[in-house]
Amino acid sequence: MHLYVEIWKARPKWLALSGDERKQYFDGIGAEIQKLVDTGVEIVGFAINDEETPHRSNYRYLAVWKMPSLEQVEMLESSVERAGWHEYFEQENARGELIPPPQALEDMANLS
């Protein structure tokens, strides 16, 4: 099982689109998301980044996904690229295999 985290904010090119253009773009994105869900991908959730978050990142939106395999992770990444998402949104990602907290803490303790 893999976790995938996306954080993003709008670029000026997105802000220049009309409401109808934005809706049309998201209609296509919705179909791509459904394809992923149909393969077993779980959307943990989407959120607007809380302004009061300590050590807050400078991104407005975030999404967290659970994916059964690296193959599905790569499907998401390919879908995002094909959709031209990065033309409209500045985004950073994090991904990795889901591990128990003790394993993560051990890895941090053993960093050199």
Q: Would you list the domain boundaries of the chain?
A: 2-109
Query: For residue 90, which of 3, 14, 20, 16 has the smallest C-alpha distance?
Result: 14
Class assignment of domain 2-109?
A: alpha beta
How distant, in Å, are the alpha carbons of 6, 7, 21, 22, 87 from that of 15? 20, 18, 11, 9, 11
Reported confidence tier of residue 26, pLDDT bands at 50, 70, 90: very high
Average pLDDT, the chain: 95
Residue range 37-64, pLDDT digits in tens: 999 999 999 999 999 999 999 999 999 9
* The residue to which tokens 């809706």 are assigned: 23
Residue 64 bridge partners (DSSP): 5, 45
CA atoms within 13 Å, Cβ hemisphere of 88: 16
Q: What does pTM read for this prediction?
A: 0.88
